[in-house]
Amino acid sequence: MKDYDIKDPSLAQSGRLRIDWAGKEMPVVKLIKERFGKEKPLAGVRISACLHVTTETANLALALKEGGAEVVLCASNPLSTQDDVAAALVDYDIPVNAIRGEGNETYYRHIITALEHKPQITMDDGADLVSTLHKDYTELAAGVIGGTEETTTGVIRLRNMARAGKLIYPIIAVNDAQTKHFFDNRYGTGQSTIDGITRATNILWAGRKVVVCGYGWCGKGIARRAQGLGAQVIITEVQPIPALEAVMDGYRVMPLIKACQIAEVFITTTGDMNVIDKTHFLQMGDGAIVANSGHFNVEINIPALEGLAKSKKRIRPSVDEYTLGDGRRIYMIGEGRLVNLAAAEGHPASVMDMSFANQALCLEYLTRMQGKLEPAVYPVPEEIDQEVGRLKLAAMDITIDSLTEEQRNYLASWELGT
Ligand SMILES: NC(=O)c1ccc[n+]([C@@H]2O[C@H](COP(=O)([O-])OP(=O)(O)OC[C@H]3O[C@@H](n4cnc5c(N)ncnc54)[C@H](O)[C@@H]3O)[C@@H](O)[C@H]2O)c1
């Protein structure tokens, strides 16, 4: 019986070429893959991965397979799957259940198929796989060694589960590794969000008035890239410290409702819901562009916009035009789903190299620690984080200084003063 569900197997060749292209930018994952090939640290381990089905994920999946794992893959977002990559992975004997644009029902059916693989390790990007297992398939938990979580929103959900006493196996918060969120969230989301909006609209950024909602790791990256292209950037926040950081980084900071009267492009990246709400749509000018780069499509209140609109039409492949009762038009990119994956190709491979090196090494660690970790959310072990940083620098042919004996002693002492 066919163990995959993809759009079109004949796309495999184009997928292979793009996977190889991304692979060239992923030297750390390549090194890990070569070692895994010799040592087989994941021999026979069943892995169910719920990740964006992209060229970078494909390189990770191939490294895990090389390590001996039996990997199956489903999508972590209905609109992020690259169908040619899915086809190529099936060709590589990695079952994929994911189709770009799949509805909610198919999306969850594909997650259930991944769970039917009876995973010993779960990999998640947003915690949909883990939460489905915890809600409806708890009997599988006894066979699970542990899991990993890729993104901020997933880690927040898992910590909430752990706090409520509901988490039944250990999970490593890959997102929280320094070699993940310092780079992936900031430089990856920064560049690819601008890329997604540009591909969708072809707008000129220079001189454009842009609001970034949320000045966390992703927000910082998006704001800096937009500013670098000449945009006038406004930040909105709900926490005083990131708001202050934004002010001192040189941005205007104000409540969103006020920014709506000034700005032309609005980008959410908060991990929160209804950040752009009905009241905001009522204040935006004609032609406002709204896009989301946070994990779920709840950051922009889409039902509220639908309620205000008298008509909606798709005017470009990733752009919907909503015409409000008074004639103003609002343009939504990528159906409010993460715009860098819905309207572009997601993060560049070079940055995913570090995120996915963390993933691969954490899977090896979980296998080694089988039975020794309590159900809880764990940080990425410090030695893995440091190793990924070291390998990435080496791959970039950059060397750094090292501490002298004298400096090591000084930094470990307290006696010396003025
Ligand atoms: N598009 C991608 O490929 C991608 C990549 C990484 C992370 N993410 C997702 O992006 C989101 C943000 O991640 P992050 O790592 O930047 O998180 P973060 O916690 O570093 O930052 C989020 C910021 O949003 C602020 N915020 C919360 N509610 C707000 C509101 N109503 N208005 C304004 N600001 C608000 C918070 O105070 C915080 O400073 C998460 O959903 C994460 O999963 C997406």
First to last CA, the chain: 75
Atom of ligand 1 nearest to the CA of 217: 16
In the prediction, which pLDDT does 294 show? 97
Q: How many Cβ atoms are within 10 Å of 128's Cβ, its own excluded? A: 21
In the prediction, which pLDDT does 2 show? 84
Structure tokens at 36: 């895994």
Q: How far is the CA of 248 from the centre of ligand 1 (A)?
A: 19
For ligand 1, whether the C-beta of 217 sits within 6 Å is yes
If phi over 0 gives left and psi between -120 and 50 gives alpha, with beta otherwise, what is residue 217? alpha
Site of tokens 């988490």: 167
In 3D space, the residue among 92, 102, 106 whose CA is nearest the CA of residue 58 turns out to be 92
For ligand 1, whether the C-beta of 237 sits within 6 Å is yes
Handedness of CA 83, 86, 87, 88 (dihedral sign): positive
Burial class (CB in 10 A: 0-12, 13-18, 19+), 321: middle
pLDDT, one tens digit for every residue, the chain (418 residues): 789 999 999 999 999 999 999 999 999 999 999 999 999 999 999 999 999 999 999 999 999 999 999 999 999 999 999 999 999 999 999 999 999 999 999 999 999 999 999 999 999 999 999 999 999 999 999 999 999 999 999 999 999 999 999 999 999 999 999 999 999 999 999 999 999 999 999 999 999 999 999 999 999 999 999 999 999 999 999 999 999 999 999 999 999 999 999 999 999 999 999 999 999 999 999 999 999 999 999 999 999 999 999 999 999 999 999 999 999 999 999 999 999 999 999 999 999 999 999 999 999 999 999 999 999 999 999 999 999 999 999 999 999 999 999 999 999 999 988 8
Structure tokens at 149: 């979580």
In the prediction, which pLDDT does 418 show? 86
For ligand 1, whether the C-beta of 201 sits within 6 Å is no
Q: What angle do CA 371, 373, 374 make, to 5 degrees?
A: 110
The pTM (predicted TM-score) of the whole model is 0.96
**How many angstroms separate the CA atoms of 272 and 130, rounded?**
20
In the prediction, which pLDDT does 87 show? 98
For ligand 1, whether the C-beta of 334 sits within 6 Å is no
Contact 266, 288 (CB under 8 A): yes
Q: How far is the CA of 111 from the centre of ligand 1 (A)?
A: 25
Tell me how far the alpha carbon of residue 75 is from its chain's centroid.
Answer: 12
Atom of ligand 1 nearest to the CA of 185: 6
For ligand 1, whether the C-beta of 185 sits within 6 Å is yes
Burial class (CB in 10 A: 0-12, 13-18, 19+), 32: buried
